[in-house]
Amino acid sequence: MNENTTNPFLVKNYNTPHNTLPLNLIGIEHYEPAIEEGIKEEMDEINRIIENTEKPNFENTIAALDKSGETLEKVTNMLGNMLNAESTDELQELAQKVMPRLTEHSNNISLNEKLFERIKAVKDNAENENLNGEQKMLVDKYYKSFVRNGALLDEKQKEQYRQLTEQLSLLTLTFEQNSLKDKNDFTLHITDSTQIEGLPEGVISMAAANASANNMEGWLFTLDAPCYVPFMKYARNRELRKEMYMGYNTVSNRDNIYNNSEIVRHIANLRIEVANLLGYKTYADYVLDNRMAENSANVYNLLNTLKDSYMPVAEKETETIAALALERDGITDLMPWDWSYYSEILRKEKYDFDEEKLREYFELDKVIEGVFGLATRLYGITFRESTEIPVYHKDVRSFEVFDENGEYLAVLYTDFYPRPTKQSGAWMTEFKGQWMENGKDSRPHVSLVMNFNPPTDGKPALLNHSELNTFLHEFGHALHGMLSKVTYRSLSGTSVYRDFVELPSQIMENFAVEKDFLNTFARHYITGEVMPESEIAKIKAAENFNAGYACTRQVSFGLLDMAWHTLTEDFTGNVEEFEKKAFKPVSLLPQIPGTCMSTQFGHIFSGGYAAGYYGYKWAEVLDADAFSVFKENGIFDKATATSFRNNILSKGGSEHPMDLYIKFRGKKPTIDALLKRNGII
């Protein structure tokens, strides 16, 4: 295509800062032609590798392969990002149409015998090429990737693999779309003011705005986190808490067209087939063969160790909450929709901790200053907002990021507020990764997407402390992407083992309770008053409130994930019953008929965490151990931060993660720091 094409994806050089994608110019009509052109371009590049008459070596095979497919990656990154952040019916229909084509193309590469022969030849001869560590990692990564994607299968098996992966790609996409649509389908409309008693002013204002936008009287509550979470914490009306709880916890398990039960069964069974075809007993065996944990025995050992350590604490916490509910309101049967409400009452009584009051000190713009300022203090990087970088929605902001020496480092997009076209939760992603090209460092374009309370009634966006945690978490992922400094695209940024990728994010959460950090930005949004020392002391004191319950909840998700992915035979049973059995060892409250997490568990059924959800707890062990170094040396200690940047954040997947960790920490991690941080020991 020439430079004058009207398809933005196919232009090589944009008239934008740092050659950022013209996100505002990309329409639905641009995707499919660009995908076809990208596929053609990549296949031409692959054919040039195959047809090269020179003996296979690192440069003409592995490096060439790593450089291929840039146009297609640009388009698919954009498509994936928009399906999560700015999805429409038209875009979802397009995704359903192009996904089989993309899967076919991916298989055409990974199942290409001649290409694999060259990759294998390079691997077999790697010792004679004098490769550096990163190059050796890249060779191993491509070889393993091709083997794990069917390269060693015979022709009949390859055809079976193609069919299985094509089905899986469509099913996971449909799962995600059903979850979004069913979540958006639920609303709670209230017109009686007595039924919103207890709710914070900001939530009431947001619900009133929702109602007004839908030409309704009163208040309209949705399942978006800024509505749902405070409703469950503060609404005095128990029946309405139950209604919201059931709405949230039955997503895609209701009797409608968005029910995901059959899709869950189908995905689980197809994954068994894929694993068996590739020589593994279970899908977990297949996944964990390429993770730090290595096998399901190690995962279960972690989950069971956590269960044994935290369950006694969690049981006592549950007894305390139940006693409070009985004492205050005569409730003899503590239910899941009571947990957040009475926990919040107890936390306030025990620590005088009022998370809603703290919102007044966490104005979003000040939080941004604080979080960016933390990165400046640790790593010397600075941020400058740009109005010239194109964005995909009016709520999106863009920032140019510069290194300590003033050199351009990255572009960072932020997208903070919920809308019907956006998935729930929070995540970091990239429009473009980092790599070296012809000696030039090609820097990344990173995006942070969250769902925070928007400004309402003349008030700015105000976060609670949990949302500050979320911001810090996702910003840690962003730092991993922005500070990447490797040579090869496939090893850059967050391209690391899935059970290592959460270390850079979770270590940032530790700062949320540190006085010296909070003092840098926590100001009252009206008076500008610094957050009082007494309030910061309460945050610290309440840090481990219900830590046992929180841990066992995460363990339950890990157990559910492993239950689905250690199946050895086709599952034909009831999804809800299977889930409740998996949850039973760590269940603290009654399991409610009709509720089901599996049908909306996007991490494992449409994301990349299948047989990997344990990674959050695995990384928590790492982050507690790693942050203990910051605590020993001072939380802003430049030498410690520089070591973390140089040994973890900048390295991407260029070395084995345990080797990187030991270079930073000096030894392997233990669970002791986590148990100590949570007050278990």
List the catalytic residues.
474
- CA-based nearest residue to 472, from 399, 378, 386, 394: 378
Q: Residue 320: CB partners within 8 Å, gap ≥ 6?
A: 346
Q: Residue 385: CB partners within 8 Å, gap ≥ 6?
A: 397, 398, 399, 400
Integer-rounded Cα Rg, in Å, for the chain is: 25
Q: Is 352 left (phi over 0), alpha (psi -120 to 50) or beta?
A: left
- CA-based nearest residue to 401, from 475, 487, 483, 476: 483
| Integer Cα distance of 267 and 269 in angstroms | 5
| Integer Cα distance of 576 and 401 in angstroms | 46
Residue 150: φ, ψ to 5°: 100, 10
- Taking the C-alpha atoms of 642, 648, 654 and 659 in order, what is their torsion angle to the nearest 10 degrees? 110
Dig out the tokens for 52 from the structure.
């090269």
> Sign of torsion, CA 378 383 389 392?
positive
Q: Residue 54: CB partners within 8 Å, gap ≥ 6?
A: 60
Q: C-alpha distances in angstroms, 281 versus 236, 278, 569, 615?
A: 50, 9, 10, 21
Dig out the tokens for 541 from the structure.
């004191």
CA angle 39, 42, 48 (to 5 degrees): 140
What DSSP string describes 300-319? HHHHHHHHHHHHHHHHHHHH
DSSP-assigned letter for residue 544:
T
How many other C-beta atoms are found inside a 10 Å radius of the C-beta of residue 584? Answer: 11
Contact 335, 533 (CB under 8 A): no
Q: Residue 60: CB partners within 8 Å, gap ≥ 6?
A: 49, 52, 54
- CA-based nearest residue to 474, from 506, 516, 522: 506
| Integer Cα distance of 541 and 644 in angstroms | 28
